[in-house]
Amino acid sequence: MARALALPVTSVTRSDDYQRATRWFVDSNPGFPICFRITSSELDSTTLTSDVKGLLRALDCSASRVLFVMDFNAQDNLPEAAIDDFIALLRDRINELPMLHNWLGLAVALSSFPTVVKLKPEEVKAFPRTDLKTYSKLLLSPEQLLRTPMFGDYALDTSPVQKPQRRTPSAHLRYSTPSSYLISKGHSVRKPRGYEAIFPVAEALVGRDEYAGPNFSRGDSFIKDLANRSGKPGNASSWRWASTDHHLTANFRLINALLGITERETAKPPQQISLFENLESPPTAPAHPSDQRVPNNPNDPSEGG
């Protein structure tokens, strides 16, 4: 068992039934947080402050229990000038948020992974990655931010949610780097190739300079084994797991570097429940990466409700 805990994510536009279910969770689990997901269009609303405060009242929940996510969904590959314009807009939206310093955590979610991917078999293609670049440039001027947000993305899939369909998958791997998203595509897993169609896909990926090496993550080790044709070929789920494991490891290290955080060796990964107390993002941007993080004050009398 992964011992993961499912927590509700709600927004100002959810139905009354959905909000009642969220309220039940809040009342039944006083020690756990919830999440508000606010889209870009909702952030532009003139009633955002009253809507958010009204939701807190309806849920009988304090802002100190809420992870506030500003969700910008999938972004196209933005040119340099457009990135700067978006950062200026994002900075304004952060600084204007209601109860900015009271939220348990503040995060910005966006992704530049292509929504539609069209590749031919045996093709490897790199797509520019601007989501992490946008976040890193946002942090370049900490004195202009009233609070430093955490970073979130959609991992390696920004395709819209669809009804389940029975399809024969093609062998492919997705791979993130600091500046690009690589996709290595192979043939269908229909006979005669079967799931062994993934072997040349992995071999093509491992042969590129962007491959981080088998010791970078468990996912990278799995991809290397596929390239060496050692062991079983796995299936579509295990291929996506390997790609995502690499992506999360890369994000963790890259963001730590951006924030000047030194990685520490741990005997075992922390359990999800032990991470809740560390969800706070700093209420103000640090003047220097080495500055101490300042936790939120849940007893702040300015907290709205």
Mean pLDDT of 203-229: 96
Beginning with the edge strand found earlier in the chain, give each strand of the sheet holding 170-176 in spatial order. 124-128, 180-188, 170-176
User: For the chain, what percent of residues have pLDDT higher than 90?
Assistant: 67
- Can you spell out the DSSP letters for 78-115? --HHHHHHHHHHHHHHHHT-TTTTTSSEEEEEEE-S-S
**Tens digits of residue pLDDT in 34-63:** 999 999 999 999 999 999 999 999 999 999
Least confident interval from 93-107, 163-177, 271-285, 288-302: 288-302
Burial 246-279 (b: 16+ CB within 10 A, else e): bbbbbbebbbeebbeeeeeeeeeeeeeeeebeee
* pLDDT given for residue 287 in this prediction: 41
* d(C-alpha 65, C-alpha 23), whole Å: 13
Confidence class for position 264, pLDDT limits 50, 70, 90: low
Enter the pTM of the model: 0.81
Q: Given a cut of 80, is residue 247 above it in pLDDT?
A: yes
249: CB partners within 8 A, 6+ apart: 216, 217, 219
Average pLDDT over residues 126-147: 92
Pair of tokens at residue 92: 């304004």
Backbone angles phi, psi at 124, to 5 degrees: -120, 125
Give residue 162's pLDDT.
66
Q: Write out the H or E segment, with its range, that includes residue 255.
A: helix 236-259
pLDDT at 206 over 90: yes
Residue 37 near residue 71, CB atoms below 8 Å: yes
Q: What residue spans define the domains of the chain?
A: 1-115+130-160+265-299, 168-263
Cis omega (within 30 of 0) on the bond before 33? no
Asked if residue 277 has pLDDT above 90, the reply is: no
pLDDT of 67 strictly over 80: yes
What pLDDT sits at residue 136? 93
Name the residue with tokens 């011992």: 3
Q: How are beta strands 180-188 and 124-128 bridged, if at all?
A: antiparallel
Q: How far apart are CA 302 and CA 305, in angstroms?
A: 10
pLDDT one-digit tens code per residue, 71-93 = 998 776 677 788 999 999 999 99
Q: What is the CA 255 to chain-centroid distance, rounded?
A: 12
The whole-chain average pLDDT of the chain stands at 85
CB burial of residue 243 (10 Å; 0-12, 13-18, 19+):
buried
Q: Whose CA is closest to 128, among 197, 49, 29, 210?
A: 210
